[in-house]
Structure 1
């Protein structure tokens, strides 16, 4: 059997067809429904000329249609392409053009943007509209019409070398498509998911379907809830692939934002085993909901998974107090490679930014010299092994990110770290956001975490602004914690004063702007450009 998600999911549908695969509010779709609808959509894609390697763009909120479209594209060996649903006209047009998308599947509530760029998106041969209550575009094919008008596509052989592509925005420049082979992604799920429920890693794809059937018979199905957007790699790859691959169910929230009560209600009602988040941006509100919400039976929740942003020790400890049997697995990872993992339990809470490296991961200096454990020297993290092929249409960036050192090909996503004497990593932050102030390097994440430890601070972003004397000046944007019970405005300078015994003086923010909500993308990642703009407006610069 091929190491391919479409082939595995088809085999699972054959043995657990009557089990629920997708839940969103009152909607429940079985594995038979999931496979059948995806197969009909796959037939429609083929009729439209979609061939192996063709790109199918998904401009969708979290929904069953997102997963069906992804499955359908894989079925015909096409390449699903994620599109950020916050993109406006020019950003949307750029991504469609850059990805060579031939199909765009979109929610009707986003249709006004699609309508404005439709004639300029000359590579797109098929526009498919998912009705979510927005105005429908004349002449565009309705999603349900395609499904109703086609018979299921026949099953085909596929290759583990088929390409998956994830567009990642990073922090600078336009988003780039990261190309990866599907086979290694399958291998990662087969080896990592079963141990979460006490099973041995799987090496033979043919054994997946029988295991899925056994999980169903024993009442141990992997029920996952991705709290973050599916258009983000954390939400899709971590939040859905393990559950789908082993015949479990995916529970999607109905709201377009994070509704904490809806999430905890769903965990209780659906007996969710795993919740996937993006660091503190999701976890702090979830903890606040537990602190101030009603009592629920959350004993089904085995693990909270996170990646993509810092997940502070204080928040993990708070979650463990409410969920004493729940593990927190915090992945230090980027679309370009998985660097390591942090394990946190009630008895052994993890230190923020401290990780066990993945096999073969090393830290290198600017001269490609390996950092000596325990030396205190900083370097950039290199990831070997099953790493992406490269960036779509960007050979220069591919050469910079994926390099050979001492005969081994590594991915260098740009994260800086130190190495402890025991080989564990201390993450400092992404080099592209490093602040150079008077020749000193300041990693924003370190200062942000220190600020967030203040009881009156809910969230923070730290960045550099031009400074005539030092090149850059460290500044901060903070939002007040709702639980702090402040009767006066939060004093940012007073918060910074509390850090003087914790951080070196050059790391302390020289200016602080207080906002109601620190700007972040829907996936929880820091929105530094917006933060810098708001800072400039507040300071009149």
Structure 2
């Protein structure tokens, strides 16, 4: 048997039918696994009544809620392709992704209605709109009425492990998003890896407050918890105070957030009366956890944290840094995930052209959860996926090195490296020095074209500080050569980021 995503829910519902499965406090909803599975089946039949069949794309423009979770599994039961969109996208981006994916159905809510209606006239393939809140527009069907009216008998569609599960559009650190095509096999394998690496148990209670349209929260947290039969509490969006209160109210044991969000929880903790002692493991990704933030989290919440590094194209988890490695290997991204291989090569070189330990090169990953392709992007697929010796390698575009113990340290994006006066400058090393100033909240460094030097090092900084003070701080540092010093400082209110918290430096370069 090669199970599909829908099978993981159905088998869990068979094992633990009366166990609390899905809790959505915003709408006062709580479903057992039997009820969760039945509602997903009803939604699958309702979508089938709208003409959705195997291979058809179903897009969602939804914040976190029971509706996006049910839609993912309903699509799995039908063999339809799940396509979750970033709920912050403007109308133009909604139009681009839905048209690129060829979506036939679009689910949305009150908080995304403006963007959907702005794109509606230009959606070339969407034939049905489904609204999950009350008082929806006339052109949209009512989500809950559809679910209640649909039969509870499983659809007759045969879904195989190598059928497409989803198009997950990359959040774009370098430009227009691309549709990453994942199969059911990928997701089942990825869930098992996350269960094993994270020690996820059936008696756990996980909280999803980071976006479920993003693969970090969906693939690395929710899916594995459903797979083993844990309880899943879903919050509409991330709010530090609400998260802390939810940990107390629901005895949450597992929580995922980017380091910036963990820092937000630390900052909010003093003002919130909440008992967070139930938390046993904190997950994070997008970047290493700064030591001061990690220390504060360990002091405030729990002792154990697990970091995952990767990208949408590989599942997303390709390496893990375990709780016992957080302090001894602080700043690293850990070791390769189970059943994964990792190599560092000269950028663009073959997988056997590995560099010496400690030398910087491009990060290559191979594993069972790698995407099938980029949708409608054969050239991009060929550039990123390359077969060598019978193994398909993903060329990440990230630069990094492995230390003497084999631990991965991510240095920067290949496209972000600055060449100034013929010398390589890695933005991360400049940013680390800027971060060491107590008044710097965030910093990003990019290259600016220059006739004399090729590129100049330019810093964008969030914080209560001025450029003259920063320059003096950098000059006084023993950790940065002078040729790497920023020649310009721009003080900004915020840095552009993608949903996983990574800074979109291409937007800074465009400015």
- Please name the residue that 2:439 is paired with: 456
The answer as to 2:321 corresponding to 1:342 is yes
Report if aligned partners of 1:476, 1:512 keep a CA contact under 8 Å in 2. yes
Q: Map of 1:416-455 to 2, 5 A cutoff? A: 416-455=399-438
Say if 2:89 is the partner of 1:87.
yes
SS in 2 for 1:451: helix
8 Å contact from structure 2 (residues 374, 381) kept in 1: yes
Give the Cα–Cα distance (whole angstroms) in 1 for the partners of residues 439 and 72 of structure 2: 42
Aligned-pair CA distance for 1:11: 2.0
In the TM superposition, 1:517-528 aligns within 5 A as 517-528=494-505
1:400 alignment counterpart: 383
1:307 pairs, out of 285, 298, 320, with: 285
Gap change, CA 1:380 and 1:498, over 3 Å in 2: same
Gapped runs of 5+ residues in structure 1? 200-214, 216-220, 481-488, 537-541
Is 1:158 the counterpart of 2:138 in the alignment?
no
Going from structure 1 to structure 2, the CA distance change for 1:365 and 1:532 (only over 3 Å counts) comes to closer
In structure 2, relative to structure 1, the CA distance for the partners of 1:283 and 1:437 (3 Å cut) is farther
Give yes or no for contact 2:319–2:333 (8 Å, CA) kept in 1: no
Q: Which residue of 2 aligns with 1:202?
A: none
Matches within 5 A, 1:17-32: 17-25=17-25, 27-30=28-31, 31-32=33-34
Match of 1:273 in 2: 253
1:357-376 → structure 2 map (5 Å cutoff): 357-358=336-337, 359-366=340-347, 367-368=349-350, 369-374=352-357, 376=358
Counterpart Cα distance in 2 of 1:286 and 1:461: 23
2:189 matched to 1:187?
yes
What's the offset of the Cα at 1:521?
Answer: 3.5
For residues 148 and 380 of structure 2, the distance between their equivalents in structure 1, rounded to whole angstroms, comes to 43
Check conservation: 2:345, 2:353, Cα contact below 8 A.
yes
Give 1:294 shift. Answer: 4.3
Equivalent-residue separation in structure 1 for 2:428 and 2:54 (angstroms): 41
Say whether residues 1:501 and 2:503 are aligned partners: no
Take 1:249 and 1:273, find their aligned partners in 2: how far apart are those partners? Answer: 10
For 1:347 and 1:247, locate their aligned partners in 2 and report how far apart those are by CA, in whole Å.
Answer: 28
Which digits, 9 at most, give the CA deviation of each residue in 1:468-521, with x for residues without a partner?
3222222222222xxxxxxxx412442343343112223322222223333323
Specify whether residues 145 and 383 from structure 1 end up closer, same or farther in structure 2 by C-alpha distance, changes over 3 A only: same
Query: Mean Cα displacement is larger for which, 518-527 or 430-439?
Result: 518-527
Could you say which residue in structure 2 is the equivalent of 1:246? Answer: 228
Distance in 2 separating the partners of 1:284 and 1:381: 28
C-alpha deviation, 1:194, in angstroms: 4.8
Alpha-carbon shift at residue 424 of structure 1 (Å) = 2.0
Report if the CA contact (8 A) 2:285-2:308 is conserved: yes
Cross-structure match for 2:241:
261
Which residue does 2:78 correspond to in 1? Answer: 76
8 A contact 1:179–1:390 mirrored in 2? yes
Offset of 1:236 from its aligned partner? 0.8
- Stretches of structure 2 that go unaligned for 5 or more consecutive residues are none
Shift of 1:6: 0.6
CA contact (8 A) 1:321 1:346 kept: no
Is 2:104 the partner of 1:102? Answer: yes
Tell me how far 1:195 sits from its aligned partner: 6.1
Alpha-carbon distance, 1:347 to partner? 8.0
Question: CA shift at 1:293, angstroms?
Answer: 3.3
Q: 1:450 to 1:303 in 2, by over 3 A?
A: farther
After TM superposition, list the pairs within 5 Å mapping 1:93-172 onto structure 2: 93-131=95-133, 136-156=136-156, 157-164=158-165, 165-172=167-174
Distance in 2, matches of 1:529 and 1:364, equals 24
Distance 1:272 1:346, change over 3 A: farther
1:236-282 superposed Cα distances (whole Å, 9 cap, x missing partner): 1112111111111222224x4x311111111121111111112x321
Superposition TM-score, scaled by structure 1 size: 0.86
Cα root mean square deviation, aligned: 2.4
Q: 1:1-22 CA distances to partner (integer Å, 9 max, x unpaired)? A: 4421211201212333333222
Residue-by-residue CA offset, 1:211-231 (whole Å, 9 max, x unaligned): xxxx4xxxxx22112332111
* Structure 1 consecutive aligned stretches of length 4 or more whose deviation exceeds 6 Å: none
Tell me how many residue pairs correspond in the alignment: 498
| Residues 312, 449 of structure 1: 8 Å contact kept | no
Paired residue for 2:268?
289
- C-alpha distance in 2, partners of 1:195/1:403? 27
Give 1:348 deviation, angstroms. Answer: 3.1
Would the alpha carbon gap of residues 38 and 77 (structure 1) be closer, same or farther in structure 2, given more than 3 Å must change?
Answer: same
Q: CA–CA distance in 1 between the matches of 2:424 and 2:390?
A: 30
How much does 1:58 deviate?
1.0
- For 1:236, the equivalent position in structure 2 comes to 218
Report the equivalent of 2:310: 333
Name the counterpart of 2:295: 317
Q: Is the 8 A contact 1:353 1:428 kept in 2?
A: no
Q: Deviations over 1:409-445 (max 9, x none)?
A: 2011211112222222221111122222222222333
Find the residue that maps to 2:442 and give its secondary structure. strand
Provide closer, same or farther for how the CA distance between residues 145 and 347 of structure 1 changes in structure 2, counting only shifts above 3 A.
Answer: closer
2: CA distance, partners of 1:49 / 1:347: 50
> Taking structure 2 as the reference length, what is the TM-score of the superposition?
0.91
